[in-house]
């Protein structure tokens, strides 16, 4: 059994004055998520009292992170460099419960995670968005069958979505810079390979990748994976997730 618990916090008031000098990787409002595993107590039905996870994160890891940020005068090491120390502190305090994953969200568009098994590796997920139109249909099916399967997505003129794209890479933080990959370089790669190709396009009509491929969110995720795999230095692509709506997404990991 596993339990996920999140705590949200802000930088200490003294640090907010440094907000303008903070790296683009940091925002004043952050969150930590701990995924804890273990057996369920047969009497209480609990794996762990989540207030215990709260205490570990709020009393140990959050103050440690705030001290690190405050001590650097607004120019902290990248978040990836903090994941191993945060993990060590949390795992020690949790004691007999197994910490399986720790995630640090430094903004709405950027998060980092470290998992049991290989603590040398850290994942970084960056969130992007693009607007595009598509039409879902299968040429050898009748119009009625297409509308039955795809609904309004089968409209001949198509319709649009504001897609949200999560790109996750994994790597070992550099011993000097503390980064997995430089954020501007990461953004430039995604922009060149994906956003410039698909943003404000009709995927069926304007994009060769979907000339004969239904641009479902599943196929879009697979296509984006193929466009990005191998494009990053010092890290590798871990996952591509495409949100077609706030409630529906598809993830591809190259299986």
Q: Enumerate the active-site residues.
A: 153, 200, 244
Phi-psi region of 38 (alpha: psi -120 to 50; beta: other; left: phi over 0): left
Nearest to 68 by CA among 79, 59, 57: 79
User: Judging by beta carbons within 10 Å of its beta carbon (0-12, 13-18, 19+), is residue 203 exposed, middle or buried?
Assistant: buried
Residue with tokens 């197994």: 98
DSSP 8-state assignment for residue 117: T
Torsion of CA 69, 72, 78, 80, to 10 degrees: -60
Q: Sign of the C-alpha dihedral, residues 192, 193, 198, 204? A: positive
The contacts of residue 65 (CB under 8 Å, 6+ apart) are 30, 82, 86, 104
Task: Please say whether the beta carbons of 134 and 158 come within 8 A.
Answer: yes
β 110-115/236-245 pair status? unpaired
The contacts of residue 32 (CB under 8 Å, 6+ apart) are 6, 7, 9, 57, 61, 62, 86, 102, 103, 104, 105
How many CB atoms are located within 10 Å of the residue 15 CB? 19
């Amino acid at each position: 059994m596993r339990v996920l618990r999140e705590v949200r916090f802000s930088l200490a008031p003294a640090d907010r004055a440094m907000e303008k000098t903070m790296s683009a990787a940091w925002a004043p409002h952050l969150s930590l998520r701990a995924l804890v595993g273990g057996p369920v107590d047969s009497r209480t039905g609990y794996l762990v009292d989540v207030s215990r996870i709260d205490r570990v994160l709020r009393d140990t890891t959050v103050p440690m992170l705030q001290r690190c940020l405050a001590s650097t005068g607004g120019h902290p090491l990248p978040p990836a460099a903090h994941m191993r120390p945060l993990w060590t502190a949390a795992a020690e305090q949790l004691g007999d419960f197994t910490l399986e994953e720790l995630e640090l969200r430094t903004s709405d568009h950027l998060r980092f995670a470290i998992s049991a098994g290989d603590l040398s590796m850290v994942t970084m997920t960056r969130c992007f968005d693009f607007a595009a139109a598509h039409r879902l249909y299968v040429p050898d099916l009748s119009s009625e069958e297409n509308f039955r399967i795809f609904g309004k997505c089968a409209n001949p003129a198509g319709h649009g979505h504001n897609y949200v794209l999560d790109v996750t890479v994994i790597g070992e933080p550099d011993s000097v810079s503390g980064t997995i990959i430089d954020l501007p370089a990461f953004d430039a790669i995604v922009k060149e390979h994906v956003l410039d190709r698909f943003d404000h396009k009709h995927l069926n009509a304007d994009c060769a990748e979907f000339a004969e491929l239904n641009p479902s969110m599943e196929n879009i995720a697979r296509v984006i994976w193929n466009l990005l795999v191998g494009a990053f230095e010092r890290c590798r692509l871990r996952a591509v997730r495409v949100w077609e709506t706030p409630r529906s997404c598809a993830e591809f990991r190259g299986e």
